[in-house]
Amino acid sequence: KQGTLLQNCKPKLKYVNFKLKFDEDYGKDEQPLWQYQYLKHGSCCQKMYNQNAYFSLALRLKDRFDILRTLQLHQIFPGSSYTFKEIFDAVKTATQVDPDLKCTKGAPELK
């Protein structure tokens, strides 16, 4: 269902650190984001995807939908201001469905 937030589902998952193909300092700095995303959103598909499958799917989707490039093609660049509709319409051209974008109250960003 569109608009339903799939996050923090039960039972709570355990996260296993990946062996990253980067140096140790980079991995320590960057891996907390992966852990946060998996525990928050991966928890809702744990019956279908284990941690490795979850991230494999996420990386395949990232490659399938180059959202940054799509935004650039629509003259939308980081650091500038655009309307919700401009961003919504640009993303929809790549995904072919209405994107689940939300405004964050009190913050000048979209999620």
Which pLDDT tens digit goes with each residue over 41-78? Answer: 888 888 888 888 988 888 888 788 888 899 999 999 98
Higher pLDDT, 104 or 51: 51
> Do residues 75 and 86 make contact, with C-beta atoms less than 8 angstroms apart?
no
CA distance 88 to 99: 7
The pLDDT score that the predictor gives to residue 38 is 84
Which residue shows structure tokens 């990386």? 59
Yes or no: say if 87 and 76 are a contact pair by the CB < 8 Å rule.
yes
**Domain residue spans of the chain:** 1-64, 65-100
Predicted structure pTM score: 0.54
